[in-house]
Amino acid sequence: MNRPQGQSHRPEITYEKILQLRHRNWLVRSVVYVLMTAMMLWSVQVTIIADTDWERMGSIGNVMSSAARFVGIDWALFPNLIEPAIETFMIACLGTLLGVLICIPAAWFGAHNITPFKPVTYPIGRLLMTLSRSIHEIVWALFFVAAVGLGALPGIFAIAMRSVGFIAKMSAEAIEDIDVGPIEAIRATGANGFQVVLYGIVPQVLPQVLSVIIFEWEINIRRSAILGFVGAGGLGLVFFRQMNTFNYHGVTSVIIAILGIILVGEVVSYFTRKSVI
């Protein structure tokens, strides 16, 4: 039998060598464990023991009774929740729509096979995507509340900006994966760039992109439900007010309402996505 040449040059592995290796492994592992334990203890000391207002918390009984204030539902609040719930829904819808519009240039720039001038436009597209995703929706909302004032509008802007990253990234990736054959054929007919995109690219990526948009819309319902915390309208704003007026049963009512519209969003998203794919 002729063995592959590399095998004869393999260093001899003996029983002692294996023990030696294991011993070294054990040493490394112990050091890592000790370090991890020390760091954990230090964190507990700094963030929990030293940083908690133990006097305000009081006894276990106090904690329980504080938490128990949330048990119970303020039924009278529900009629007042209908409008904010619809508003939350609308913020999600309009925010997603606006986000999709911003996505078109972002995905166009950020897909390396169709980006108009790669050295410049590709980094711009990718930067837009990263920027959008690395800033939290609450931060976007704070930014837009400061810019355009309270209400649903800053919420819509915040949702739009936060959505661009994911939708544009997934769309750009879908565009990068397309079959170039049809594009070649469309170009060969004398079509212009716009027509090539419309006939060669859009039909190929549309199902994927639609599915991503619906998915993002569903997430945006969750997001828009809490944007009111910072003044950007919807159910979050009611939540914030109930909390400030110490109406804890009202807070529970809002939480239930949020849960309700999220469930509706999930059901709608499930069925529309199924029909698209």
Q: Is 273 exposed, middle or buried (0-12, 13-18, 19+ CB in 10 A)?
A: middle
Query: In the complex with another protein, which residue's Cβ is closer, 102 or 210?
Result: 210
Query: In the complex with another protein, which residue's Cβ is closer, 113 or 245?
Result: 113
Query: In the complex with another protein, which residue's Cβ is closer, 164 or 186?
Result: 186
Residues that bind another protein (CB under 8 A): 181-182, 184-192, 194-195, 198-200, 203-204, 206-207
For residue 268, CA distances in Å to 89, 93, 94, 119, 263 come to 12, 13, 16, 41, 9
CB of 211 to another protein, least distance (A): 14
- CA dihedral (59, 63, 69, 71) positive or negative: negative
Q: At what angle do helices 78-110 and 235-244 cross, to 10 degrees?
A: 130
CB of 182 to another protein, least distance (A): 5
CB of 64 to another protein, least distance (A): 59
CB of 200 to another protein, least distance (A): 7
Q: How far apart are CA 157 and CA 234, in angstroms?
A: 14
Query: In the complex with another protein, which residue's Cβ is closer, 47 or 195?
Result: 195
Q: How far apart are CA 38 and CA 195, in angstroms?
A: 63
